[in-house]
Amino acid sequence: MFEALLVAGPLSRAELSRRLTLSPASLTKITRPLVDAGVIIERSMTNGGGFGRPSQPLDLDARFAYFIGIKLTGEALYAVLTDARAHIVEDVEQRLDDQAVDAVVAQIADIVARLTARHGQATGIGISLSGNASRTESVVRDSPFLHWKGVPLADLVREATGLPVVLENDVRALTASEQWFGEAAGLDSFAILTFGAGIGCGIVTNGAQIQGHQGASGLIGHFPVDDRGPFCYAGHRGCAHAYATTTGIARSIGSALGGGPVAFERCVELARQADPIARAVFDEAGTAIGTLLAAVINLVGPERVFISGEGAVIYELGERAALARMREGLHWTACEVPIAVQSLGFTEWARGAAVVAVQQYVRSLGAIEAT
């Protein structure tokens, strides 16, 4: 019930009864105490244009609980405090003082203490980061940008803050946010491809996000593109990472100009100024992205694909090449799907972490209801 109202509310009692397969009497028995407590709200009455008795839709007061979302990169910490519908109440950005685990945990605890002092106690914390982390475990198995392996981050932060903590891979957290409260709300299947210092992919099919065994899913960053291409940092020749990441582009343009890596922002400027070297590099990146798009669409058949991340501009500048390569690679029975570009900052990724905490909490309430 909580999930239905949170994601799709307000809902008429008849519609909520249908979704929950409850009789009207049973629904009233469950909802009445929550209405009296102010958790569930009765919205203005409507008759939907019909002639029957007007209905009074039910909705969830999103302020019934607050959550903290944290996105960790190799250099910074982004935090948000949100209500249960992931509306951001306050956001914080800090450089990481130190990548050592104890230092990061202390920094997280300090931010949590300051946010709760200003806004009241939070119900839970979600933490997202690049690498192998999953909401089903309390341990970060591997995070390349933080150089962590086997770190029991959820337990450490729980001990430091006294709050429930859930971990998730950052791309899957962003995907969860889009599925419940973003542009993908209401879609039965979609995919998100993220571009930045790395490449990620979140996939929802039949209304459920693919998690993968031990949190390993959407691992397309090193998908082969051209076996004669440049090497990525991991030694793969011609993979997507070598072509379509901020670091790969900076390295390629710097090499073509006869020097070291060029700042990515400068690479974008050069491409917008129609510099031939920069344009060629972004076209190559677009071709790599088109290869990934064709693979994802062929395998999943999503209703829509979203391009996101701090490096979404890579797709924008290489869009023509990306679409050409995608169309070449699509199976003849596959449908070309709409592609939407979202240039989201890391605060939105932190919001995704808060949504994971919301989901964890709301589904725990659903489990209680079922008993």
Question: Is 180 inside a domain boundary?
Answer: no
Q: How many CB atoms lie under 10 A from the CB of residue 367? A: 9
**CA 326 → CA 45, 54, 170, 297, 303, distances in Å?**
49, 50, 26, 9, 16
Question: Is 106 inside a domain boundary?
Answer: yes
- Residue with the bigger pLDDT between 25 and 159: it is 159
- 141 plus 222 within the same structural domain: no
Task: Determine the structural domain holding residue 7 and report its residue range.
Answer: 2-63
Domain count within the chain:
3
Quickly list DSSP for 236-276.
-BSBHHHHHSHHHHHHHHHHHTTSSPPPHHHHHHHHHTT-H
- 82 plus 120 within the same structural domain: yes
pLDDT score recorded for residue 366: 63
Entry pTM: 0.89
Question: Is 317 inside a domain boundary?
Answer: yes
- 86 plus 223 within the same structural domain: no
pLDDT at 4 over 70: yes
Where residue 55 falls among pLDDT bands split at 50, 70, 90?
Answer: low
pLDDT at 328 over 60: yes
Question: Is 58 inside a domain boundary?
Answer: yes
- 154 plus 253 within the same structural domain: no
* pLDDT tens digits, 180-190: 999 999 899 99
Where residue 263 falls among pLDDT bands split at 50, 70, 90?
Answer: very high
pLDDT at 218 over 80: yes
* pLDDT tens digits, 99-148: 999 999 999 999 999 999 999 999 999 999 998 998 989 999 999 899 99
Where residue 217 falls among pLDDT bands split at 50, 70, 90?
Answer: confident
